[in-house]
């Protein structure tokens, strides 16, 4: 694939010789990328959660290329994405019992398109290469307008993990994808900044009681209301610890190079920062103390995120990357609030700081 030098100069430096072409989300470019997917090429694209690194599920070489580009172990399953209205039951998934089908229908009606991945028994058309050899598959229908248009034009499910190198921070900007994978994939499609900012909530429908495998913007309470039965919050359930196949379940994940510490406002007041430090907070008490620290220590920087779990999630990954861009040796991140709506942020910070 040729390099578009005009675009390359816009996005700055990446580690190896640039390879990817960064494309604006025009209808013609979306069409071009859909064709590339169908022909077996890799395309990174925006979703409302994070950017995904896509390959058509029926293009074995391209799917293998995802694992290679990311440096991801081949037994870690991928999520398959499709546009609204796609007929998953046409051989891509199957239902083992009617309750499962009812749960699937209720949840997709309520939350699709959107940041919810459902794990179901895989159908015969879904290659086991996509599922890491498991007999279940994670499927999702994103709400981002560019993702919807791309998936609709491709017409086939697209396997897409987050478009970062394995274990690193997920990308929420096209430039982040260029920086991490620009030397190893041909196409990066740009688009509006992901509204959610952390990966989708993953819910397994394999057992009678739906289980959250990864917390995200859609909470256990919201799921429970739609299903008419309680769903256990992620922190309470030990589900993740028991499932080594979920790569986000690895202790250390979503990590920048800077050391991440999660700290309360009180803790920050007693902290003596050594080395260049980025303080990231959302509450007044924390930010006041961070500002006081900055006046005493010239190597301290402060970043204020919005004052709600959704705003913190939206800016979380870009802020962790910013710490590396600023050559910080550490990030002092304000401890997330209490309550289910903070579970997604709390989970990502726990892994970033492990
Ligand atoms: O928001 C998202 O879900 C993003 C965007 C691009 O859609 N994708 C994403 O993919 O986060 P990835 O590969 O980074 O994370 C997928 C997670 C992994 O932890 C994987 O183990 C889990 O989904 N997963 C996929 N299929 C599964 C299955 N059959 N059983 C259990 N976990 C599964
Ligand atoms: Mg990921």
Q: Return residue ranges of the chain for CATH 3.40.50.11030.
A: 259-352
* Site to substitute for ligand 1 among 161, 206, 244, most atoms within 8 A of C-beta: 161
Q: Is the CB of 101 under 6 A from ligand 1?
A: no
pLDDT score, position 238: 44
* Site to substitute for ligand 1 among 138, 159, 214, 242, most atoms within 8 A of C-beta: 138
Distance 80 CA to ligand 2 centre (A): 13
Looking at the domain that runs over 259-352, which CATH code has it been given?
3.40.50.11030
Beta bridge partners of 168: 255
Q: Is the CB of 200 under 6 A from ligand 1?
A: yes
Distance 164 CA to ligand 2 centre (A): 7
Whether 154 and 60 have beta carbons less than 8 Å apart is answered as no
Q: Is the CB of 47 under 6 A from ligand 1?
A: yes
Beta strand 158-159 with 330-334 is unpaired
Cα–Cα nearest to 150, from 60, 81, 200, 50: 81
Cα–Cα nearest to 154, from 25, 29, 56, 85: 56
Q: Specify the residue for token string 């990864």.
A: 214
Q: Closest residue (by CA) to atom 31 of ligand 1? A: 246
pLDDT score, position 254: 85
- Angstrom distance (rounded) from CA 317 to CA 52: 14
Local confidence pLDDT in tens for the 354 residues of the chain: 333 444 433 344 434 455 899 999 999 999 999 999 999 999 999 999 999 999 999 999 999 999 999 999 989 999 999 999 999 999 999 999 999 999 999 999 999 999 999 999 999 999 999 999 999 999 999 999 999 999 999 999 999 999 999 989 999 999 999 999 999 999 999 999 999 999 999 999 999 899 999 999 999 999 999 999 999 888 766 444 444 445 555 567 888 999 999 999 999 988 899 999 999 999 999 999 999 999 999 999 999 999 899 999 999 999 999 999 999 999 999 999 998 999 999 999 999 998
pLDDT score, position 7: 42
* Site to substitute for ligand 1 among 117, 157, 250, most atoms within 8 A of C-beta: 117
- Please count the other Cβ atoms lying within 10 Å of the Cβ belonging to residue 251: 8
Looking at the domain that runs over 5-240, which CATH code has it been given?
3.90.870.10
Q: What is the pTM of this model?
A: 0.92
Q: Is the CB of 157 under 6 A from ligand 1?
A: no
Q: Is the CB of 151 under 6 A from ligand 1?
A: no
Distance 78 CA to ligand 1 centre (A): 5
Cα–Cα nearest to 352, from 326, 327, 325, 324: 324
Question: What's the angle, vertex CA 334, arms to CA 329 and CA 335, rounded to 5?
Answer: 120
Quickly list H helices, the chain: 5-11, 27-38, 60-70, 98-111, 145-154, 174-181, 220-227, 265-269, 284-296, 309-325, 343-352
Q: What is the DSSP letter of 162?
A: B
- Angstrom distance (rounded) from CA 327 to CA 273: 15
Q: Return residue ranges of the chain for CATH 3.90.870.10.
A: 5-240
Distance 244 CA to ligand 1 centre (A): 12
Atom of ligand 1 nearest to the CA of 246: 21
pLDDT score, position 240: 44
Tokens of 206: 């394999």
Which ligand does the CA of 66 lie closest to?
1
- Angstrom distance (rounded) from CA 192 to CA 204: 29
């Amino acid at each position: 694939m040729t390099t578009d030098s005009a675009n390359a100069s816009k996005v700055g430096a990446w580690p190896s010789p640039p390879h990817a072409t960064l494309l604006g989300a025009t209808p013609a470019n979306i069409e071009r990328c859909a064709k590339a997917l169908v022909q077996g090429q890799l395309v990174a694209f925006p979703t409302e959660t994070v950017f995904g690194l896509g390959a058509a599920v029926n293009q074995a070489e391209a799917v293998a290329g995802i694992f290679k580009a990311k440096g991801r172990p081949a037994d870690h399953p991928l999520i398959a994405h499709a546009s609204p209205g796609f007929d998953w039951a046409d051989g891509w998934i199957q239902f083992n019992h009617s309750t499962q089908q009812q749960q699937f229908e209720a949840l997709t009606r309520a939350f699709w398109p959107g940041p919810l991945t459902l794990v179901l028994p895989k159908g015969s058309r879904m290659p086991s290469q996509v599922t890491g050899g498991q007999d279940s598959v994670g499927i999702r229908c994103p709400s981002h307008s560019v993702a919807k248009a791309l998936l609709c034009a491709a017409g086939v499910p697209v396997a897409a993990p987050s478009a970062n190198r394995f274990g690193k921070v997920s990308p929420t900007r096209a430039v982040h994808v260029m920086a991490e994978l620009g030397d190893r994939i041909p196409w990066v499609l740009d688009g509006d900044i992901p509204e959610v900012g952390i990966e989708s909530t993953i819910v397994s429908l394999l057992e009678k009681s739906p289980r959250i495998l990864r917390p995200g913007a859609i909470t256990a309470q919201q799921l429970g209301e739609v299903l008419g039965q309680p769903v256990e919050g992620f922190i309470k359930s030990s589900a993740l610890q028991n499932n080594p196949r979920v790569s986000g379940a690895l202790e250390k994940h979503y990590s920048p190079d800077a050391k991440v510490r999660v700290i309360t406002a009180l803790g920050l007041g007693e902290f003596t920062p050594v080395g260049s430090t980025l303080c990231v907070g959302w509450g007044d008490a924390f930010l006041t103390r961070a500002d006081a620290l900055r006046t005493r220590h010239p190597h301290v920087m402060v970043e204020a995120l919005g004052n709600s779990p959704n705003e913190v999630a939206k800016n979380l990954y870009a802020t962790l990357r910013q710490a590396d861009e600023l050559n910080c040796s550490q990030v002092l991140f304000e401890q997330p609030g209490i309550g289910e709506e903070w579970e997604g942020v709390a989970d990502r910070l726990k892994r970033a700081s492990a």
